[in-house]
Amino acid sequence: MARLHRRLPAVAVARVVAAAAVLVATPAAAQGADDGDAPAYRNHTVGGTHGWFFDAETNTSSGNYSDWANGETFYLGDYLIFKTNDNSSVVHTTNATSYSLCDASEDDSPETFIYGGGGGGGGGPEEGRTVPVALVEEGSNYFFSEADAGVQCQQGMRFEIKVQHGQGLPPSLKNPPPAPKGRVLAPPPAGTAFSGTGTVEPGNGAGDNGGAPGAAAGRFLGVAALGVAAAVFVSL
């Protein structure tokens, strides 16, 4: 079962609500045109075609994420698209200590979030899923998988990025909706990409529209915020 480390504050809800729009709508890329030389908002598929996976048999991740991140430029309002499965989690934090320890279990900061199952095992038949993460904090942002008691992170499933200001946050992330009152387990609405009945074109790297059909799109993440994200399929 997918999970979040703690109840999501309003800004976190905004991240996943707006994520649904970014995954399927290309007009977001055109928003930079009215802001001088500011870069357009982009989606970055983490690891490119390699995705965010871990093989416990070989004790290796599917890609070199630090090398991938070094070849990208990130701005506020961009999204990272993690194509993964329930073997691994996605931890997003601005806490360098949690990152260096490969452990966010004692991190109560409001800017640390854990998405995904993280059941470990690696290389199994687990159903694929897509995790969209908005970049809303300028400066250093850290990402890792805490699964297998931090082993995945220690074996290379981690990376750091520097987020630049660019044109700043879009309205969908500046003005988040109210936070949910609690967790509600419910499937996403039929016809959305997360329900398995919608379609999202697969991508090959940064700047694409992330989210493979079928395997990656057919799994809901099991909390109210991500269920809401699937329901809000409108362009930015």
pLDDT digits (tens, 9 = 90+) for 96-115: 999 999 999 999 888 899 98
Structure confidence at residue 32 as a pLDDT band (50, 70, 90): very low
The C-alpha R_g of the chain, in whole angstroms, comes to 16
For residue 146, give the amino acid letter: E
8 A C-beta contact, residue 81 and residue 44: yes
What is the per-residue pLDDT for 114? 92
What is the per-residue pLDDT for 175? 75
- Scored b (16 or more CB within 10 A) or e, 100-118 reads ebbbbeebeeeebbbbbbb
* Most confident segment among 57-66, 207-216, 222-231: 57-66
pLDDT at residue 65 is higher than 60: yes
8 A C-beta contact, residue 87 and residue 54: yes
Structure confidence at residue 218 as a pLDDT band (50, 70, 90): very low
pLDDT digits (tens, 9 = 90+) for 132-164: 999 999 999 999 999 999 999 999 999 999 999
